[in-house]
């Protein structure tokens, strides 16, 4: 999936992972689409810094400790969201995976997502298992990463299947760079991979990055630290031009 394959896993004192949704003052999302539009931009943006930190190191998971390691020197607390079976193309949420005996402390985010789904009628979050594809794992990872303000998410492929986890750690957060022009790369990648309302996703992305928005009928401009970026849209809210 282009940029996605480069940034996500396929085959100091840590900060505990957040388990409560962020930005609770916002109107709750009522569909999977709304969740994707609200959180995908900032989640994908964070993955670039996350990818720089972990590099090409192999991963290793310690379920009892609730950690994921990349090489000998990088160990982070994790939250397990769920797993997919490559043979059946079936997703199973961590909260529904009773046979694996997952420690309760590492499935808190999956439980919070379930509650969010129940409260807002979102089947994706409250159905224990459903048909899914490997590429769609990014949908789960981005929604959770954005909602819980994670440092990043990782798709840990173990051959017969893959596990999606989120990670929150000061070491990763401190590596973040204020890159104004990153938006010009990240947002086009996002809308090329997912079907979203371009204008809504752009506004959410800029807001999450701390931009002050100015909006007209067919444009959105974000301003931060003397820099600005403008997206222009057609009458169907599709991006026509992006500059900054």
Return the biggest CA–CA distance within the chain.
Answer: 54
Listed in order, strand segments (DSSP E) in the chain are 59-62, 67-70, 75-85, 90-93, 129-131, 152-157, 161-167, 212-216, 219-224, 227-233, 239-243
User: Cα(43)–Cα(161) distance, rounded to whole angstroms?
Assistant: 23
Instruction: Please name every residue paired with 59 in a beta bridge, in sequence order, or none if there are none.
Output: 70
pLDDT value of position 14: 38
Mean pLDDT of 115-142: 91
**CA 193, chain centre distance (Å):** 14
Task: Please report which confidence band the pLDDT of residue 15 belongs to, taking 50, 70 and 90 as the band edges.
Answer: very low
Token reading at 157: 């492929």
Mean pLDDT of 211-222: 95
Using one digit for the tens of pLDDT, what is the confidence trace for 149-205?
A: 999 999 999 999 999 999 999 989 988 877 888 999 999 999 999 999 999 999 999
Q: Is the pLDDT of residue 211 over 70?
A: yes
């Amino acid at each position: 999936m282009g940029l996605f394959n480069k940034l996500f896993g396929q085959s100091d004192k840590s900060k505990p992972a957040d388990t409560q949704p962020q930005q609770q003052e916002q109107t709750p999302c009522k569909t999977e689409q709304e969740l994707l539009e609200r959180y995908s931009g900032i989640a994908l943006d964070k993955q670039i810094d996350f990818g720089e930190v972990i590099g090409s190191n192999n991963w290793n998971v310690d379920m009892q400790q609730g950690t994921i390691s990349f090489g000998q020197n990088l160990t982070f607390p994790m939250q397990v969201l769920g797993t997919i079976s490559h043979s059946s193309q079936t997703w199973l949420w961590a909260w529904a995976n009773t046979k694996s005996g997952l420690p309760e402390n590492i499935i808190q985010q999956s439980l919070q997502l379930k509650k969010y789904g129940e409260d807002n009628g979102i089947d994706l979050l409250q159905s224990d298992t459903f048909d899914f594809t490997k590429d769609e794992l990014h949908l789960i990872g981005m929604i959770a990463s954005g909602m819980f303000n994670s440092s990043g998410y990782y798709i840990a492929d173990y051959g017969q299947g893959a596990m999606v986890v989120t990670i929150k750690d000061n070491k990763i957060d401190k590596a973040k760079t204020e890159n104004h022009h990153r938006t010009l790369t990240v947002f086009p990648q996002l809308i090329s991979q997912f079907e979203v309302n371009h204008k809504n996703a752009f506004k959410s992305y800029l807001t999450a990055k701390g931009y002050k928005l100015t909006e007209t009928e067919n444009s959105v401009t974000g301003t931060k630290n003397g820099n600005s970026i403008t997206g222009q849209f057609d009458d169907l809210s599709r991006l026509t031009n992006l500059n900054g």
